[in-house]
Amino acid sequence: MFKRIAFFFAVITFLLPGNFCFSQGEEGSRQIQSVTGSIVSTEWVGDIICVRWLQAEGIIGYDNLTISVPDGLKINKGTDIVTLANLNIGDNVTVKYYNDNFAGLKAVSLTVNR
């Protein structure tokens, strides 16, 4: 009986702390990044936008970034709050986003620059 109790406490002592180490929440792992560029495509069904941005200052080279826009995200266009359907190809935008390992890049904020 004593061996079973000792084994039980040994398992709890060694395995339980490991579970807390590997259960870091999503908030702690988010690294927010920002991109400014123009919209080259929108997909309303999948709530996705594609933003073309200049890779580096002084180098003429563009890159496209595909970002998922979650439902309910407030999109600022001047003083108005608009939906994804109100965005046009060619709009100059600033998007703050993070990399969700399962769903790709997800927008946290989206602002249409005038």
Place of tokens 């309910």: 72
pLDDT of residue 6 exceeding 90: no
Question: Which of 21-30, 47-56, 78-87, 94-103 is least confident?
Answer: 21-30
Give a yes or no: residue 15 inside a domain.
no
CA angle 68, 111, 36 (to 5 degrees): 75
Q: Following DSSP, what letter does each residue of 23-88 receive, concatenated?
A: ---HHHH---EEEEEEEEEEETTTTEEEEEEEEETTEEEEEEEEEE--TTPPEEETTEEE-GGG--
How many residues appear in the chain?
114
Give a yes or no: residue 14 inside a domain.
no
Question: 112 - beta bridge partners?
Answer: 77, 93
DSSP 114: -
Give a yes or no: residue 7 inside a domain.
no
Give a yes or no: residue 2 inside a domain.
no
pLDDT of residue 84 exceeding 50: yes
Count how many domains the chain has: 1
CATH number at residue 90: 2.40.50.320
Quote the pTM value.
0.69
Give a yes or no: residue 10 inside a domain.
no
Mean pLDDT of the chain, nearest integer: 80
Place of tokens 């870091």: 24
- pLDDT tens per residue, range 11-66: 455 544 444 333 344 445 689 999 999 999 999 888 999 999 887 666 678 889 99
Is residue 108 within a helix (H) or strand (E), and if so which, with residue range? strand 104-113
Residue-range definition of the domain harbouring residue 82: 28-113
